[in-house]
Amino acid sequence: MKSKEKMTLQGLLSDEISIPAIQRDYAFGRSNIESKQKRINFVSSLSNVINGNEKSLHLDFIYGKHVGDSFIPLDGQQRITTLWLLAIYLSRKNNKTDDYLSRFTYATRTSTREFCSAIIEEAWNPDETSVDYFQSRKWFFNSWRYDPTISGMLVMLEEIHKQLPNGGNYDNLTKITFSFLDVEELGQPEELYVKMNSRGKPLSEWDNFKAELFGIPDSDDFKDWIDNDFLDFFWKLGNDGEDKAENTESRMLRFFYLNIFLNRLMGEQEKNNDEIMQFIHKSWDTLIDYQFLSDIKHFIEMLDKFKNDISQYVSDRFVSIRENDFFKILKATKNDDFVRDLDLYFAYWKYISQVNEATFDIDELFNVVRISTNIEESYRKEVGNTRTSLKSFEYAISWQKGIIDYMATQDLTNISFGAYSDEQKNEEVVKAKLILENPAWVTPIYKAESHPYFNGTIGWILRVANEDLGEFIKYSKWLLKKFDKNGIKDKTEIAD
């Protein structure tokens, strides 16, 4: 170890400083009471020196490691970032040009790196410093609003402006100092940070996952997308208050695990849920390649593009296309119960993964989800049955003429869709043939399927009606009125 005493920010920035990807976000700008008070107190200590009320301030040790021409801080990120923001504000306030400030950045997200450059290079008025002011600048990208480090920096700049509205004495920056330890021979920066991070907030599961993910060569073309558009998509899913950042990370992690689980389930290696999860926790990275990342990018981009079409879709079978149920899967935060979610998720995933903006057909997505939902109720949710069902649906969803045509025209004798009985499969075949032969069946069938007690299983009415459209309409109206979501309304009336 080598140590140097009382180094200023400018001295520390004689080297490039990059906050490593594995570090947590900038925390001093958070809105909870504890963080707010800590922020006010820390800025007050800095302001007392800048205003000359205190002679100096020593900010203790900064731990880090030299890697090439860069210094990687492993402890002290919050203090360095805050002093850097103070220096930027004072430079603008006092019309100074400090080239050394450009030697500080974050490697955590592309958006953070871009903001660190923009706050130095772009025009802004320090007299109007506030969160709203920065977010209204033309150079401030809307996606930056969802980067928790950028949000924290804006809050900190606003606090600095509140306590130093006149700028104070710029030269007193040199009276704020650090000591630093250049840690040698203790491993790579990520390894050392993990060892030392018990001093602060533990790394989240997403932090660790993303650090390993970004270490996979095939991820290089997707890092910017994951740090921006992917984050943006999941950030907008929840309204979680103080827990929004944490829950967004949990959702992103679960989305990756869900797709890894699906990928592994479609193979034949593991026999049950526990075996698949054990493999994922041990070797998930072996399943990540360029195609996997390209597929999830396409899926999220298509969902984002057509989410309004999906939510506004009107049918007699569902409210939209089970949109609430589907997005509930994406909003979940716990990495468990994947099998329960896979039927609906796979229906969306498989269809959307095979189309593009020009070929997307909202009616076809509806029918894929509709038939999947009807059959989903007919088998027990476990890995073996789900694997069989999804593999059967893989062919059905991929059928060029559409899933209705597939069900109506193909020989499905040896296809089980996961169920021990062929009853529901055969019902779907009958309904598909009737719809294909006469589209007038569509509305009566969908209305009957939508009954909350039968939930898609209406073969018994078709048999009573002898597959005659007029009889089916008559019987379905009468029979379905006799049931509510719990079953027969008046058993004596049915008996009579």
> What's the pLDDT tens digit per position in 12-67?
888 788 887 666 678 788 877 777 888 898 899 899 999 999 888 887 777 777 77
Highest mean pLDDT among 207-211, 238-242, 412-416: 412-416
Residue 277 has pLDDT above 60, yes or no: yes
Residue 268 has pLDDT above 80, yes or no: no
Residue-averaged pLDDT of the chain: 85
- For the packed helices 244-265 and 383-398, what is the interaxial angle rounded to 10 degrees? 80
pTM above threshold 0.85 = no
Terminal Cα distance for the chain, rounded:
92
Tell me how far the alpha carbon of residue 423 is from its chain's centroid: 38
Residue 201 has pLDDT above 50, yes or no: no
Q: What is the pLDDT of residue 182?
A: 64
pLDDT confidence tier of residue 492, bands split at 50, 70 and 90? low
pLDDT confidence tier of residue 480, bands split at 50, 70 and 90? confident
Measured CA to CA in angstroms, residue 313 lies from 276, 288, 363, 402, 464 at distances of 36, 34, 9, 19, 31
- For the packed helices 469-481 and 442-449, what is the interaxial angle rounded to 10 degrees? 20
> What's the pLDDT tens digit per position in 343-390?
999 999 999 999 999 999 999 999 999 999 998 876 667 788 888 889
Q: Which residues pair with 63 in a beta bridge?
A: 75, 181
